């Protein structure tokens, strides 16, 4: 196999595999995040929860960002993601970790 053909084949496999993390079987790819203004925080211990796409069973719906009361142990915002569990794809809602 010629080197250029091998490179083209490897590039195609890479593109196919990288797309698998975005568009799961039977689901469209998640849209890019929306840019939204972050208003000044309210008084007290609040954290900005960024907006995110939520799967509703038929499509993605945008959940706007908002301030939420800070909870002990909240350190990192985990965006929503598709994960393989028990041999099927499951949507994990965004959350604080």
pLDDT the model gives residue 28: 79
Secondary structure element (H or E) that encloses residue 22, with its range: none
The residue that leads in pLDDT, 24 or 96, is 96
Q: CA-to-CA distance for 22 and 81, rounded, in angstroms?
A: 9
pTM: 0.55
Query: Are the C-beta atoms of 26 and 20 separated by less than 8 Å?
Result: no
Residue 39 has pLDDT above 90, yes or no: yes
Q: What is the mean pLDDT of the chain?
A: 73
Return the domain boundaries, the chain.
44-97
Rounded mean pLDDT, 77-83: 79
Average pLDDT over residues 3-14: 36
Least confident of 13-17, 63-67, 78-82, 85-89: 13-17
């Amino acid at each position: 196999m010629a080197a250029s053909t091998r490179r083209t084949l490897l590039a195609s496999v890479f593109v196919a595999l990288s797309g698998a993390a975005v568009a799961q079987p039977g689901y469209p790819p998640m849209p890019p995040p929306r840019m939204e203004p972050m208003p000044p925080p309210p008084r007290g211990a609040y954290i900005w929860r960024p907006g995110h796409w939520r799967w509703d069973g038929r499509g993605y719906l945008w959940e706007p960002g908002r301030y939420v009361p800070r909870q002990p142990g909240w350190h990192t915002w985990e965006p929503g993601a598709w994960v393989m569990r028990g041999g099927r794809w499951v949507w994990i809602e965004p959350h604080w970790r």
